[in-house]
Structure 1
Amino acid sequence: MSTRNPPLDHARLDRIVAEARRATEQRELGYRERALKMYPWICGRCGREFNRSNLQELTVHHRNHDHDFNPPDGSNWELLCVYCHDNEHSRHIDHVRGAGYDDEAVAAPATGNPFADLKAMMARKRES
């Protein structure tokens, strides 16, 4: 039984390292990596601080809600924890729906007049 290790395949190791470096460079081109380099790892809403062990819970929020608008200066980004990010998107959806921008039918305006008989009611109250 031989205890000798097989010889290293240096060409294969070089390919693996080169592929890992290319993958890193591609990720760094993404807006999340750029935002994490640009801003401190703190949620912009609740102030929670992050480190490498929980960094996956820190997200990049697009302030104008357009994920295709990624200026190089990061002016459309803010870092938010997953909870604040979900809250922000829920608030945005509520705002859009409340403003009547959705496809649902718009409610008909009220036609009743709650003060229609107010003068008569006040006159009856004075009489009693």
Structure 2
Amino acid sequence: MANDNSKSERTDRLIADAVRNRLSREAGYRERALKIYPWICGRCAREFSSANLRELTVHHSDHNHDNNPPDGSNWELLCVYCHDNEHARQIEAEAARRRGQNGSAAQRPAPATAQPFANLHDLLRRRQS
């Protein structure tokens, strides 16, 4: 039982260290990005002040959170909504790529051919008669 506690404590320490390191790394590049760029979302152009700055996030263009060049060339400030949207789009694109749908015309679905209102004129005429 003591060995299980020891493993659990060691695991807890490793997790706590990893979280602390991630938060420290994020704080560093976030502070630098906020000094470099104006406090405006790069997608929707929403402006931020110190009152709502917590809603402005740093997006890594190459999705590598360890790639933090001093000039900020891998960063983009996005509001939380645009940031979530960007990541959702990336997830959908990756899923499509895995399914083999790369967007080429040969793999796009055929256009709809149904014409639900094709006989509407005749139906209306019959109803009026």
Amino acid at match of 1:53: A
Q: How does 1:15-34 map to 2 (within 5 A)?
A: 30-34=28-32
Query: Alpha-carbon deviation of 1:28?
Result: 9.8
Partner of 2:57: 59
C-alpha change, 1:43 and 1:30, in structure 2 (3 Å) is same
Sequence identity of aligned pairs in percent?
Answer: 70
Q: Is the 8 A contact 1:28 1:34 kept in 2?
A: no
Q: List runs of 5+ in structure 1 lacking aligned partners.
A: 1-25, 101-105, 108-128
C-alpha change, 1:27 and 1:33, in structure 2 (3 Å) is farther
Counterpart Cα distance in 1 of 2:67 and 2:95: 23
**TM-score scaled by length of structure 2:** 0.56
Higher alpha-carbon Rg: 1
Q: How does 1:39-78 map to 2 (within 5 A)?
A: 39-78=37-76
Counterpart Cα distance in 1 of 2:97 and 2:27: 36
Q: How does 1:1-128 map to 2 (within 5 A)?
A: 30-100=28-98
Query: Alpha-carbon deviation of 1:93?
Result: 0.5
Q: List runs of 5+ in structure 2 lacking aligned partners.
A: 1-23, 101-129
Per the alignment, in what secondary structure is the counterpart of residue 83 of structure 2? helix
Query: Alpha-carbon deviation of 1:36?
Result: 0.1
Counterpart Cα distance in 2 of 1:61 and 1:37: 15
- Calculate the aligned-residue CA RMSD, in Å: 2.1
**TM-score scaled by length of structure 1:** 0.56
Counterpart Cα distance in 2 of 1:86 and 1:97: 17
Bigger proportion of residues as helix: 2
Aligned length: 77
Structure 1 residue runs of 4 or more that deviate by more than 2 Å after TM superposition: 26-29
